[in-house]
Structure 1
């Protein structure tokens, strides 16, 4: 029996046209955007059009992606689609939890908004994507250098390190790497340096009601499927300081018998990561209503 996973991309997959198709082809989109604007104080439609904020700034990126991905989830469910597992990459985990009905849209949006505010305000950190390296050499360099961690384990040949700028540079000086790409972020995301922000975020998280997931969820910090609301909340509490274990997520999905996945959201970043890690899982992009309608 074919098993399907729904995967949700995170920050970096956004683009100005990502709302356009939904606004013209999915009637509930406009009302959802109005609902979101009442919470956020700004319109995702105006943000994508360049009239408000900056879509590539964390403060605006994260809520905008959550809104787009939640709309695609609703459209899929309205057409009877179901998942065997859900997972999201960093911010995408919030859309995965919405898909699994762990929380409603407004709760998810408020969490994402606060997360974005805290991450946007973070400072004194640096993140660099590494492509083409010796993993053992990298692990040894990180282990011998304080204040730097492996933040994103994206696929066997690509990771992101995160930490204090001097520590990140020290690691780069200890290893051979084909390509090192500094990320345009405000802080050392997915590292212990986010502890203060994570503690502040935990206060809001504790006030939110989480429900048992209708689809098993694989969390970033612990890619072991669960539907338990308390476990999911505990894992989410650790997400801001913990690593995104995407390679392990892909292997866990394959081990569970997943052969097909939908990348729900703009772009095809996750399709590339899955292909390089578990090529036996075929990934289909669901970024527009046209692509969605062709599946269901």
Structure 2
């Protein structure tokens, strides 16, 4: 069976996530290594601090560390995917899973990315559920400073931009639900250009190896193993849209029959099910999930 691993991003975090992974071989060493790099404990925050866990500066590294531990546990069980993809922050875990860079390199990138995004203070994001896509496209075309940031499925997108721009778009369309997101800025939009420029300087000297597993990136969802392409695509990600609907469709094109969501929650599995016929989904977010599906 052809399988893809997909990795959730910010918004999937939940208090208590990852704590049971301490019982997995080598996980404690990874948590300890992360604490040295970050200067704080992923386990402590995930176990005890709901406020910090919801803060971008902490959310993104926590998700990266936990998802990487799950990747390692799957590989230790002899399990490998035929393709990988991650939603926003999750793309860093996909690149780690494909051995484009090592754990430490990825965590340092995620740490700096999270700090830059946490400092963003202009604009915001709103999720739209149940809308006419043509009507939405026309409204965005007529409204400055608003873009589709996450194209998740035919029925769900996230728009990003100025508060006035978002309000104007929502007023011009029929939408079942419009949900403002608790984020500090207009992520995945041109309003993140300053953060993206700083991140690009940090990213530039880092070596990306060719991937050992094909990766579908957010900004260019065609599977590739070319390390230079993957680096350029990651460099564009902070301002570029997350094209998850297209990634889901590409999984079908690749002949993927099963998507394993590696990390907390079931959001990506749900999006894939709504977009693709014939792809089953599996949740892999805890030690019990691992043991149930891939017993040692």
Q: TM-score, normalised by structure 2?
A: 0.97
What is the CA–CA distance in structure 2 between the aligned matches of 1:280 and 1:240, rounded to whole Å? 32
The correspondence for 2:176, drawn from 175, 178, 198, is 178
- Residues 127, 185 of structure 1: 8 Å contact kept: yes
Query: 1:34 is matched with which residue: 32, 45, 51?
Result: 32
Tell me, in whole angstroms, the C-alpha distance in 2 between the residues paired with 1:294 and 1:212: 33
The match for 1:143 is 141
Corresponding residue SS for 1:170: helix
Question: 1:52 offset after TM fit, Å?
Answer: 9.2
| 1:51 CA displacement | 5.2
Alignment map for 1:280-291 (pairs within 5 Å): 280-291=278-289
Could you list the runs of 4 or more consecutive aligned residues of structure 1 that deviate by over 2 angstroms after TM superposition? Answer: 49-53, 293-296
CA 1:276/1:52 → structure 2, altered by over 3 Å: closer, same or farther? Answer: closer
Deviation at 1:31, TM superposition (A): 1.4
Determine the C-alpha separation between the residues in 1 that align with 2:43 and 2:143.
44
User: Who is 2:104 aligned against?
Assistant: 106
* 1:9 aligned residue: 8
Q: What 5-or-longer segments of structure 1 have no aligned partner?
A: none
Q: Find the counterpart in structure 2 of residue 59 from structure 1.
A: 57
1:88 maps to what in 2? 86
Shift of 1:219: 0.1
SS at match of 1:93: helix
CA distance in 1, matches of 2:111, 2:252: 33
Deviation at 1:50, TM superposition (A): 2.4
Aligned length: 294
1:19-65 per-residue CA deviation (whole Å, 9 max, x = no partner) reads: 22101x30312111111111111110111122596101100000000
Q: TM-score, normalization: structure 1?
A: 0.97
Deviation string 1:183-208 (CA, Å, 9 cap, x unpaired) is 00000000011011001000111121
